[in-house]
Amino acid sequence: MLEIVTFGILAAVTLVSAILVITRRNAVHSVIWLIVTLFGVAGIYLLQHAEFLFAVQIILYVGGIMVLFLFVVMLVNIDVSLKQARFARQWQVALGTAILLGAQLAYALYNHGRGLNLQERPMLAAPAGNTQAVGMALYQNYMLPVEIASILLLVAMVGAVLMAKRKLE
């Protein structure tokens, strides 16, 4: 019972702040609400006993990526965009398409459910030592993907520095 209540609060916080992210006029407010959304998602991870991902979400997403976003929002001009239209011209068509997509997802998940067939096995509490298990998987079974991801991060870092540089000479 307590878990359901906790899940409901976290899901409500996540969804409401996600809606606020895409409707605020000021981009700084959007970043702040996105941080609230990310905290909600982190709480969802904790509820599922994924403690390592919880820590990664807060340290890397909230602490790293969102600070980067905030810097760039401050760098580009906020004052001009405050007076401009928030939504693109095609917003009615786009909203209709997205609502249709959401309805399809909800229908497929709720009405059929057989495609997923998740009802039979109730979830058990995960065993202790989630971080250890993730670490074992990362450095034993997934060693090559970890190396590829590190190269991806290196390339992204060099690319970001190169593009944000003032002049190429």
Q: Which of 69, 38, 37 is nearest to 53 (CA)?
A: 38
Report the chain's C-alpha Rg in angstroms.
Answer: 21
DSSP class of residue 139 equals I
Task: Identify the residue among 83, 115, 164, 169 touching another protein (CB under 8 A).
Answer: 164
13-42: contacts with another protein (CB under 8 A): 14-15, 18-19, 21-22, 27, 30-31, 34, 37-38, 41
What is the number of residues in the chain?
A: 169
50-89: contacts with another protein (CB under 8 A): 50, 52-53, 56-57, 60-61, 64-65, 68-69, 72-73, 75-77, 81, 84-89
Q: Which of 80, 77, 68 is nearest to 31 (CA)?
A: 68
Do the beta carbons of residue 24 and residue 30 sit within 8 Å? yes
- Per-residue binding letters, 96-135, with another protein (x by CB under 8 A): -xxx-xx--xx--xx--x--x-xx-xxxxxx---x--xx-
- Pairwise CA distance, residues 168 & 31, whole Å: 31
Instruction: For residue 130, give both structure tokens.
Output: 């989630």
Minimum CB separation of residue 22 from another protein in Å reads 3
Instruction: For residue 45, give both structure tokens.
Output: 């991870």
Task: Identify the residue among 9, 63, 112, 137 touching another protein (CB under 8 A).
Answer: 137
Rule CB under 8 A: is residue 145 a binding residue for another protein? Answer: yes
Minimum CB separation of residue 129 from another protein in Å reads 10
Rule CB under 8 A: is residue 2 a binding residue for another protein? Answer: no
